[in-house]
Protein backbone atom coordinates (compact mmCIF):
# COMPACT_ATOMS: atom_id res chain seq x y z
CA UNK A 1 0.00 0.00 0.00
CA UNK A 2 2.91 2.32 0.78
CA UNK A 3 4.19 1.86 -2.76
CA UNK A 4 0.87 3.10 -4.13
CA UNK A 5 1.06 6.28 -2.07
CA UNK A 6 4.67 6.72 -3.12
CA UNK A 7 3.71 6.36 -6.77
CA UNK A 8 0.98 8.97 -6.37
CA UNK A 9 3.40 11.41 -4.76
CA UNK A 10 5.97 10.74 -7.48
CA UNK A 11 3.45 11.47 -10.24
CA UNK A 12 2.28 14.63 -8.48
CA UNK A 13 5.87 15.72 -8.02
CA UNK A 14 6.50 15.33 -11.74
CA UNK A 15 3.34 17.29 -12.52
CA UNK A 16 4.50 19.96 -10.08
CA UNK A 17 1.45 19.54 -7.84
CA UNK A 18 2.11 19.27 -4.11
CA UNK A 19 0.39 16.29 -2.44
CA UNK A 20 -2.59 17.74 -0.56
CA UNK A 21 -4.55 14.72 0.69
CA UNK A 22 -2.93 11.32 1.12
CA UNK A 23 -6.39 9.77 0.83
CA UNK A 24 -6.38 10.32 -2.94
CA UNK A 25 -3.00 8.68 -3.33
CA UNK A 26 -2.50 10.46 -6.64
CA UNK A 27 -5.73 9.07 -8.03
CA UNK A 28 -7.12 12.51 -8.85
CA UNK A 29 -5.22 13.44 -11.99
Give pLDDT, residue 17.
67
SS3 sequence of 1-29: CHHHHHHHHHHHHHHCCCCCCCCCCCCCC
CB-side neighbour CA atoms (13 Å) of 16: 0
pLDDT tens track for 8-28: 888 878 877 665 655 555 555
Entry pTM: 0.41
Say if CB 4 and CB 25 are below 8 A apart.
yes
Residue 5 has pLDDT above 80, yes or no: yes
Amino acid sequence: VDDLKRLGQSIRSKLGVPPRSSSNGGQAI
